[in-house]
Amino acid sequence: MKYIATVMLLCIGFISRAQQLYIYNKSDLKPLEGVLVYVPNSTNAVQSNTKGIADLTAFSSSDTLLIKLVGFQSQQFTKSALEAKSFKIYLSEVSFDLDEVVLTANKSEEKKIDIPQQIEVINARKIEQNNPQTSADLLLQTGKVYMQMSQQGGGSPILRGFEANRVLMVVDGVRLNNAVYRAGHLQNVITIDPNSIDRVEVMYGPGSVMYGSDALGGVMHFYTKRPQLSTTDKLLINGSSFVRYSSASNEKTGNVSVNIGGKKLASFTSFTYKDFGDLKAGANRPGAYPEFGKVLYYAQRINGADSMVKNKDYNVQKGAGYSQYDITQKFLYKAGKYIDVLLNVQYSNSTDVPRFDRLTEYSGSKLKFAEWYYGPQTRLFNSLTTEFKKENAFYKTARIILSQQSIDESRHDRRFNAVNKRSQIEKINIYALNADFIKDFKKKHELRYGAEVLLNKVNSKAHFEDITTGAISKAQTRYPDGGSDMNTIAAYLTHRWEINRKFILSSGARFSSVKLSSTFADTTVFPFPFADVNNTFTALNGSVGLVYLPGNDWRLSALGSSGFRAPNVDDATKFFDSKPGAVLVVPNSSLK
């Protein structure tokens, strides 16, 4: 009897295991969680678990099962057909998902198909699959964002021909652009850790109604991973880690991420360290440009003198390496059924980052610069977000974000055979308050309204250092040495009208007031004709868009919108010898 019982138990276990469906992503063969398996027009349904397994025991062999997951092509099989496939199936990702939800267009969840703006979504699955070294690479790998790179430690995004301070970067609802974002190339995107990002949304075209100044070419919104609460009485603990080596840049990267969640309080922690060596270029060059990119010599100080050293391998960019670490810490507290509070802390710090394009410039037969590098770039980001989800007379949902950012950056250069090294050092502090509200009217009308207060404070210092004696002398600061402030107050209102099932009309307006003030305390290095710059700028922006949904997965949209960019501290007050001896950029107190 014991033998018979054992055999029966083994048979039952085998039959139970044979009822399990294994669901994988066709592109990377990884298990898919949350796949819905159900019989159409019935309540009989199951979902796949974290291992991509769905239990089919409740279905009969004649049932026709629909297998569906957002972002993937749905499939339909009878249970007997799945058995013929050994209960293993592979789902293919779709390039445009009509049910995909986006947040950037109006700072809230909406179906992508319902909005007139063009938005490119880079989700967590794509980020993991592409395995980018930096956030600049993350954007570049979409094939939809161009990237300018003057050196390995950089990346300046370009949207529709607009770059730098004419495109806007946003992190978790907070502007990354600040008062010293210049018209030239920017490298700030690499201070965002790609390993802490859950999704990125790139919105093309003016976005000034929702986001204000700088959103001319578009908006790049980076959403970092959100702490996960436990849905049971047990503590939820999960995490991930990896190490990576890349031979072309001699890159060594490691990351550890941990989520710990209770029913009301959850924590997400991510730490990444990257170390890049000298970058090696490919050996194959265009026939018309056989010398393109060759590094024949590099500068090195030997026995107290600058020397041009012959590069043993002209494909290697000598001195291009740097290292960086990034920390993300987030706490989510569920203060009540309708209130969520999120504390978000991000910190990024790097070593000196060589400006490699400058290090390859020549003056006659000699290298022009012996040293040219950006000093350690640090970014401290703090935000406190409170979400209210209980509807009242003023809103259906509301979000209040208080944020503070501290940014340190510097640039250092010394010409070949010169003894004086110039250092220009900037410190920027940014304080912001964002309030966004949503209110529905009669089901077909939705109002979104909000306000923004933004304060930028800039301190600038500069000096020359004699590298032989250590003596320090005055140098002209890049921005006014007496300090600069750039303050913004803005309010917006948008309206969405679902006219019928086929037509959706969206419109909106925003008023912004920007005040700029700077003081030149010391004019002995360069005698400016004025000591102060005080300007006030105002802008009224609008947008109107129409979406037509004729059916059969067709979508037609039209959008008209205006954008603006208020002159910032960099535009109005910068002192910069862009081409020494030829072009000198000086402050302009009447810039509009």
What CA–CA distance (Å, rounded) separates 59 from 240? 35
CB of 267 within 8 A of CB of 261?
Answer: yes
Judge whether residue 270 has pLDDT over 50.
yes
**Tens digit of each residue's pLDDT (9 = 90 or more) over 357-404:** 999 999 999 999 999 999 999 999 999 999 999 999 999 999 999 999
Contact 457, 503 (CB under 8 A): no
List, for residues 293-325, the tens digit of each pLDDT value. Answer: 999 999 999 999 999 999 999 999 999 999 999
Tell me the mean pLDDT in the region 278-288: 91
Indicate whether 60 pLDDT > 60. Answer: yes
Main-chain dihedrals φ then ψ at residue 6, nearest 5 degrees: -65, -45
Which burial class, exposed, middle or buried, applies to 170 when counting CB atoms under 10 A from its CB (0-12, 13-18, 19+)?
Answer: buried
Instruction: Provide, rounded to the nearest whole percent, the portion of the chain with pLDDT above 90.
Output: 75
Q: What is the pLDDT of residues 422-457, one digit of tens each?
A: 999 999 999 999 999 999 988 899 999 999 999 999
Average model confidence (pLDDT) across the chain: 92
Is the alpha carbon torsion for 14, 18, 24, 29 positive or negative?
Answer: positive
Mean pLDDT (whole number) for 551-573: 92
**Percent of the chain whose pLDDT exceeds 70:** 95
Give which of 328, 428, 322 is closest to 378, Cα–Cα.
428
Domain boundaries, the chain: 2-91
Question: Higher model confidence: residue 243 or residue 2?
Answer: 243
Identify the CA nearest to 514 among candidates 543, 493, 542, 484. 484
Instruction: Work out the average pLDDT over 186-203.
Output: 96
How sure is the predictor about 117, in pLDDT bands with cuts at 50, 70 and 90?
Answer: very high
pLDDT digits (tens, 9 = 90+) for 461-484: 999 999 999 999 999 999 999 999
pLDDT number for residue 100: 83
Amino acid 6: pLDDT? 47
Q: Is the pTM of this model over 0.85?
A: yes
CA atoms within 13 A on the CB side of 60: 2
Architecture of domain 2-91: Sandwich (2.60)
Q: Evaluate if residue 219 carries a pLDDT over 70.
A: yes
